[in-house]
Chains A and B, each alone.
Chain A
Amino acid sequence: MKTLVGTLAFAVLAACVLLAVPDAQAAKKIKVGIVDCYSGPPSTYTNDVRDAFALAVKKINAQGGVLGREIEFVTRDSKFKVDIGLAAAKELVMREDVDILMGTINSALALAVADLAKTEKIPFLATFAKSDKITGEKGNRYTFSMNENTAMIGKAAAVGLAKLPYTRYWIAGDDYEYGHAIAEGVWNHLKLLKPEVQLLGQSWWKVGEPDFTPYITAMLAEKPDAVIVATGGRGCVPFLKTAQATGFNKQVPFYMHTATELSTLKPLGTDAPEGVIGTANYHSHYPDTEANRAFVAEFEQAYGRTPAAGALYGYITAQFITKAYQKAGKVDTEKFIDALEGLSVDSPIGEVTVRAEDHQVMLPMFMGVTKKAPGEETLTATDIVVIPAAELMPSAEEIKKSRAK
């Protein structure tokens, strides 16, 4: 009896091993594993990344793929948690045997995955996580950032705000890494560009604060010339809503990153306040070029909605992957990384480049003001000023210094 059990066990084991051998077809694909938050409010942003990536991949595959191979991708939900996301990333590397890791809107998770990428020697293309540590002090050979970071946002806002006549500022924001990083970035650069600025005070609220009325009344009492609002994701929409209800924007001008961006403005409809100063990497109506119009049309046809910033990140990520493999000439991680360094692609917003020194994609920033357009269902950004990437990026020297720390 014992031998029978043993034989059966062996047979089962053997079957498992045999079944686990990947079939030849699968080995011929380039596999991308995306870990991101698809549950909860952040999915408003991350769905666009995934969908635009899928759109680009479909097009590439239709044209015969890369180096004769198709690109395929699998996704895992991080639930906005570092431990869950990191476990998923490990699973993608070990079980799914992916060639590239991608994703995460959560900065803390992006940093954790970047570490994993370094130890596992697998490329990681971060999309939407905005901590400047990803390509700054914690940057490594295997990690790339496909979107703007807090340092770039800070510089862009400072360049724009310095041109305006305000001197007495108030800072308010989400009491966590992103909020403080944005506020510091804007403020430090603004002080350099315009030394006479004065900080009257700051207010910080908990992430996900539902009611901003008391904060707004208190800020009005201090009579600042302008307010820097450092709130992201969950805070932007309700803040703008309260600003509209209290008439805050009519009394005090304020700046908020992504305030002019579609993801933020769309849920508000025409309930959003006018005259809010915002910065964003992407607008579906700007720049009004052939390439952007074609991209918007393509995305709208596929998904029935207008692409927001996340769509740009997803789309260029697919473009960069394809072009880097083509340049490398074979599917090899080290060659892929060498190829990606300094690589440029033609994106919907023009040519964009991955800087070789720090693996940060060089995206321009668009600073605009919210405005109601007749007949439109949502507000749009007008008076857009383009701040080129070269003016926003920390110098290669600064990166070197921060990484040496």
Chain B
Amino acid sequence: MEFLSSLTLSVFCIQVLVGLSKATILFIVASGLTLILGVLRIPNLAHGSLYMIGAFTTYTVAVYFGQSSAGFWLALLLAPLAVALIGLAMERGLFRFLYQRDHMMLLLFTFSFALVFGDLVKMIWGSDYRSLSVPEVFQGSFSLLGTPFPRYNLFLLCLGPLFAFGLWFFTRRTKLGKISRAAAVDREMVGAVGINVNLIYSAVFVLGCYLAGIGGALVAPTQNITQGMDQSIIIEIFLIVIIGGLGNVWGALLGALIFGLTDAIGILLAPQFAIVFPYVAVIFVLLFRPQGLLKSVW
């Protein structure tokens, strides 16, 4: 490591942290997608739209409370719940009738949802840019040997492991989690032992939507809240879910880490061509493990 002076080492470390905080958001959103994909077998193209709705709802709630810090925390609580409710309506209202259908059919249905949600967002919030302040405690940045790191990103970094642990706990330690894993493997068998599979499906779909919503709520203070957020994230999270192994939550974590870190390090090493780095990583993974890094439930 001789070529790294103390200064560039600090830049490198900060850049890794930046990559990890980006990976956190990607993981939270992608884990919701992969849960739904694994258990319900729905390739939900509207997942990005739910993330967008999460961000817009956060904006509305926070502004309603005068853009105060308390308003933001309240929004962080309420917005994902609102998205989860939309998820419940989607699952009970439509998807439960379609589980026996072809995947292509489901894909088209979710695609239509993405288009409808896009228009709804335009109708409700208009097409202006929206921007939300970072809550007061996280404003500004701290610096490591002269390289700044936004405080809010530090907050995101802390959330990453928390969500990973939470999902681990849910899938491995709770009854609902265990049953949903079983339902992912064999729906008929789970039904045959007298478990209400429909309820499990609803719960998992709602949880997945909740994760999309909280992802949107968390990025709201750092980005433009605008139409098109859905499209920019849906491609990334689908790639993450694919390289991680379809339906595997740990795969989503691994995929998000690969995506976030190659992106950040790529920008440091070759800023002219940084855009391609995560995609090159995806190609490499798929060349050597076309089924994804971890075990796919499909």
Binary CB contact string for chain B from 1 to 42 against chain A (1 if under 8 A, 0 otherwise): 000000110010011001101100000000000000000000
CA distance A40 to B128 in the complex (A): 8
Indicate if A370 sits at the interface (CB-CB under 8 A): no
Indicate if B290 sits at the interface (CB-CB under 8 A): no
Binary CB contact string for chain B from 55 to 84 against chain A (1 if under 8 A, 0 otherwise): 000000000000100000000000000000
Indicate if B152 sits at the interface (CB-CB under 8 A): yes
Indicate if A43 sits at the interface (CB-CB under 8 A): yes
Which residue on A lies nearest to B226, using beta carbons? Answer: A41
* Cβ A175 vs Cβ B275 within 8 A: yes
CA distance A38 to B263 in the complex (A): 33
Given known pairs A40-B127, A245-B152, the reply for A220 and B11 (CB within 8 Å) is yes
* Cβ A208 vs Cβ B232 within 8 A: yes
Number of chain B residues whose Cβ lies closer than 8 Å to a Cβ of chain A: 47
Indicate if B272 sits at the interface (CB-CB under 8 A): yes
Partner among B7, B18, B129, B222 whose Cβ is within 8 Å of the Cβ of A44: B129
CA distance A221 to B268 in the complex (A): 8
Given known pairs A213-B153, A217-B11, the reply for A269 and B131 (CB within 8 Å) is yes
A49 → chain B, closest Cβ, in Å? 14
Which residue on B lies nearest to A248, using beta carbons? Answer: B148
Stretch at the interface among A18-26, A66-74, A234-242, A292-300: A234-242
Partner among A38, A221, A246, A267 whose Cβ is within 8 Å of the Cβ of B224: A267
B270 → chain A, closest Cβ, in Å? 9
Indicate if B240 sits at the interface (CB-CB under 8 A): no
Residues of A close to B21: CB separation below 8 A: 213
Stretch at the interface among A139-147, A196-204, A316-324, A341-349: A196-204
Indicate if A39 sits at the interface (CB-CB under 8 A): yes
Which residue on B lies nearest to A233, using beta carbons? Answer: B129
* Cβ B148 vs Cβ A205 within 8 A: no
Binary CB contact string for chain B from 98 to 109 against chain A (1 if under 8 A, 0 otherwise): 000000000000
Given known pairs A213-B18, A218-B267, the reply for A251 and B223 (CB within 8 Å) is no
> Using a CB-CB cutoff of 8 Å, which residues 156-206 of chain A contact chain B?
172, 175, 201-206
* Cβ B127 vs Cβ A44 within 8 A: yes
From B150, B223, B271, B275, residue with most partner A Cβ within 10 Å: B271
> Using a CB-CB cutoff of 8 Å, which residues 208-243 of chain A contact chain B?
208, 210-211, 213-215, 217-221, 234, 237-238, 241-242
Given known pairs A213-B150, A245-B152, the reply for A203 and B267 (CB within 8 Å) is yes
CA distance A246 to B140 in the complex (A): 6
* Cβ A205 vs Cβ B274 within 8 A: yes
Residues of A close to B11: CB separation below 8 A: 217-218, 220-221
Residues of B close to A214: CB separation below 8 A: 15, 18-19, 22, 263-264, 267-268
Binary CB contact string for chain A from 122 to 133 against chain B (1 if under 8 A, 0 otherwise): 000000000000
Which residue on A lies nearest to B11, using beta carbons? Answer: A221
Residues of A close to B7: CB separation below 8 A: 221
Indicate if A247 sits at the interface (CB-CB under 8 A): yes
Partner among B67, B148, B219, B228 whose Cβ is within 8 Å of the Cβ of A251: B148
> Using a CB-CB cutoff of 8 Å, which residues 140-160 of chain B contact chain A?
140-141, 143, 146-150, 152-153
Residues of B close to A206: CB separation below 8 A: 275
CA distance A210 to B227 in the complex (A): 12
Which residue on A lies nearest to B132, using beta carbons? Answer: A271
Given known pairs A41-B227, A241-B223, the reply for A246 and B150 (CB within 8 Å) is yes
List 24 interface pairs A-B (beta carbons < 8 Å), by A numbering: A38-B127, A41-B224, A43-B128, A44-B128, A201-B272, A203-B272, A204-B271, A205-B274, A208-B228, A210-B224, A210-B229, A211-B22, A213-B21, A213-B222, A214-B19, A214-B264, A217-B147, A217-B268, A218-B268, A221-B8, A245-B150, A245-B222, A251-B148, A267-B131
Across the A-B interface, the 10 shortest Cβ-Cβ residue pairs: A203-B271, A221-B11, A267-B129, A245-B150, A214-B264, A43-B127, A267-B131, A238-B224, A210-B223, A214-B267
